[in-house]
Structure 1
């Protein structure tokens, strides 16, 4: 496999991580693109990322940690969640969140994460504990769950309540989702892509976002379809079948960048 093919095979997941880390599709994708451009200009770096996924994330992390790229909002003006993400990034270096996302959402081992972050495994474990403690201190919000599989919906409800949040409602179809937000305004949405009546979670979320700005986490068995970087795509994606730790980390990161959290 050539270097370009190897890197291309890992790009969707790197985009997922970059978007979750930055709280923005646009910012995350810009950092991924800058990583590739740096590799094109540096034969040594290109050789390093050819070693595999860990090396690619290590190169991305080096760029993320050492620079602040100028991100021009699409259309010249950022939306509510994008603006909140940019403001939070300006004052926070979420190293503990990097460790948490790498070991949960991206499923790297502690040792692999230590290589990516250029630190010891013991330091990574300390950072993960710090991030988990931070989650425990987070403000609560109301969560709308859009999921057509009853058992998965119940699992998500238990997980959300276990984090101290309230359930704004559950929906198995696009129509039910729109009806639910008409009754209770959520502070976060967890959404499947394929819904019970053949409708789309993407369409349901579009309907909701036309009414108000709210962070959304999509849970899908095919994340690579929404990680192309070719069009407006979700910022937060969790792969089915999911690990509860991955969902917890995604929820925490979405709320970290959210400027409004209904009680």
Structure 2
């Protein structure tokens, strides 16, 4: 089932590659945001199922708080994608988990599929390789 996904990533090439991968997989990329503010603007204008959130954005290390807000206040499922997974090793309330960057197409696909199955209440037995789940 295609998901409506928001990419929150400040590195344009990373965001572009991620967008291509997700669209090739049949998902609808609703938007790309490089700052917490632009991400909030997109979320308030669009219906989003899943946000892929980097921790360090153009406006600083705002991704953790943003991810928490998206999940808890707005009902958006959150997967963090970062080159520094240790920054969220204790987990973030409500978020599904963290995928280490760089992540290949297969890792992105299995992580998004896993996140969407959880969002829809479908049974999931195992986390896909490369996805570190939060409690």
**What corresponds to 1:225 in structure 2?**
87
Deviates more, 1:170-179 or 1:204-213: 204-213
1:44-74 superposed Cα distances (whole Å, 9 cap, x missing partner): xxxxxxxxxxxxxxxxxxxxxxxxxxxxxxx
- Give the Cα–Cα distance (whole angstroms) in 2 for the partners of residues 181 and 240 of structure 1: 24
- Give the Cα–Cα distance (whole angstroms) in 2 for the partners of residues 168 and 141 of structure 1: 9
1:216 aligns with 2:78: yes
**What corresponds to 1:115 in structure 2?**
none
The 5 Å alignment of 1:9-20 reads none
The normalised TM-score by structure 1 is: 0.43
Instruction: Determine if contact 1:221/1:240 at 8 Å carries over to the other structure.
Output: yes
Match of 1:159 among 21, 29, 52: 21
Q: 1:201, CA displacement in angstroms?
A: 1.1
Residue 119 of structure 2 aligns to a residue whose secondary structure is coil
- Higher share of residues assigned strand: 2
The 5 Å alignment of 1:24-103 reads none
RMSD of aligned residue pairs (Cα, Å): 1.9
Residue 219 of structure 1 aligns to a residue whose secondary structure is strand
- Give the Cα–Cα distance (whole angstroms) in 2 for the partners of residues 258 and 210 of structure 1: 13
Instruction: Determine if contact 1:194/1:201 at 8 Å carries over to the other structure.
Output: yes
Structure 2 vs 1, CA of residues 210 and 224 (structure 1 numbering), >3 Å: closer, same or farther? closer
**What corresponds to 2:99 in structure 1?**
238
The normalised TM-score by structure 2 is: 0.80
* Higher gyration radius (CA): 1
Residue 90 of structure 2 aligns to a residue whose secondary structure is coil
Unaligned segments of structure 1, at least 5 residues: 1-138
The 5 Å alignment of 1:98-177 reads 139-177=1-39
- Higher share of residues assigned helix: 1
Q: 1:210, CA displacement in angstroms?
A: 4.2
Moved over 4 A (4+): none
Q: 1:255, CA displacement in angstroms?
A: 0.6
Q: 1:233, CA displacement in angstroms?
A: 7.2
